[in-house]
Amino acid sequence: MESSLRSKVVLVTGASSGIGRATALALSHEGAIVVAAGRRAERLQTLVEEAPGEMVAMELDVTEPESVDQVVSAVVARFGRLDALVNNAGLMLAGMILNADTDEWVRMVETNLLGSMRVAHAALPHLIESHGSYVQVSSTSGRISSAGAAAYSATKFGITAFAESFRQEATPYGVRTIVVEPGFVATELVNHTTDPVMREAADRIGESMRTLQPEDIAAAVVYALGQPDHVAVNEILVRPTDQLH
C-alpha cells in the first residue's frame, strides 16, 4: 500500500545529525519530499546523497530570524507548499546551577526555545494552507526536571507549553500538532556539554541502559505523520525500556 506521506513536502530542522538525520531519511523512505535543514552544510550534502528519495539541503540557523524566514520562504517557493514541519534543532549544555556558565543558558534558550518558536511561527501560515502537521521534538526533560539539567529542562518545558498553545490555535484551521518526547537517545547531543563532570555522568547513564537510537524516534515521527487526516497523535513519549525517570 502506498504511503500517505508520498509527495508530502516536509521541512526537518537539525537534520545534519542524530534524530533529525534519521527522521529525514525515514521520511524519504516513505516517499516524502524532504527539506533537510541545519547549520552543517557538508553533513547535509552527505545526507542528501544517501536519501532514497527526493531531498534537498538548506542551511539554517534557527537563532537568526532572517535565516528562518529565508528557508521557509525558499521551501514554499521551490515546492509550492509546506505539508509538515519537524522542529528538531536543539542542543544540551548540562551543568549545575551553582557553577553554571549563564551564556550557555542563553544559547539553549535561543536554540531550543526561541529558535523552535521562530520556525513554527514562520511555517504556520503555510501549514494552515495545506492543512498540514507541526511536529515538535521535545524531551522527557520537558516533563521531569533533574539536577544538572535545569536550563535544558526549562527550554523543553517551555517548548512543550508553546506547542500546546500552538495546537489550540492551529486546530481550528485543520493543522495537527504532534509533540514527541524522547528519553535517553544515543546521539551527539551530550557531546555539546562542556562540563567534564556532567559529560562523565551522561556517559555513565548511557552505559547503564539500552539507549534509544535516533531511528526509534524517527519511527515515532513517521507513525504520527502517517495517520489519516482526521487522527491527531498529539503526544508521543518514548523512553528506553531501562530508563526509570
CA distance 209 to 42: 32
All residues at 6 or more sequence positions from 36 whose CB lies less than 8 Å from its CB, including other chains: 12, 15, 16, 20, 21, 24, 44, 47, 48, 51, 55, 56, 57, 58
Catalytic residue positions, numbered: 152
As beta bridge partners, residue 237 has 181
As beta bridge partners, residue 235 has 179
Grid cell of 201 as nine digits: 555522568
**∠ at Cα 165 (105, 156), nearest 5°?**
25
